[in-house]
């Protein structure tokens, strides 16, 4: 089985991003080693695409949820 590609788009100092990551870790601790965190403020393209939407979780290139962690949307995107 192929492992999903997970990317979490964040910005430094974002309390929503911190809460999102904590909730994700509590629900799916085994995914953290596969999670790539991307700071939108370090890349102009990412800042344009995700800057006002962070945190944004993309699974296999598709946005699973944004703003606040949504357990049901993440589970559905992971096929759980």
Q: What is the CATH number of the domain that holds 46?
A: 3.40.30.10
Q: From residue 13, how far is each of 52, 54, 55 by CA, in Å?
A: 14, 11, 12
The residue segments making up the domain with residue 58 are 6-78
Residue 32 vs residue 58, higher pLDDT: 58
Residue 1 pLDDT exceeds 90: no
pLDDT in tens, 8-20: 999 999 999 999 9
pLDDT in tens, 54-68: 999 999 999 999 999
Residue 1 lies in a domain: no
Query: What would the two tokens of residue 28 be?
Result: 């799916």
Say if residues 74 and 65 touch (Cβ distance below 8 Å).
yes
Contact partners, residue 72, CB within 8 Å, separation at least 6: none
Helix, strand, or coil (residue 29) = helix
Q: Domain tally for the chain?
A: 1
Question: What distance separates the 2 farthest-apart alpha carbons in the chain?
Answer: 36
Give the per-residue pLDDT at 30. 86
Give the per-residue pLDDT at 65. 95
């Amino acid at each position: 089985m192929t492992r999903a590609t997970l990317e979490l788009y964040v910005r430094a100092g974002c309390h929503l991003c911190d809460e999102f990551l904590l909730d994700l870790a509590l629900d799916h601790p085994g995914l953290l080693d596969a999670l790539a965190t991307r700071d939108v403020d370090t890349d102009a393209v990412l800042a344009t695409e995700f800057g006002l939407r962070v945190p944004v979780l993309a699974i296999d290139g598709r946005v699973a949820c944004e703003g606040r962690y949504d357990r049901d949307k993440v589970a559905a995107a992971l096929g759980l």
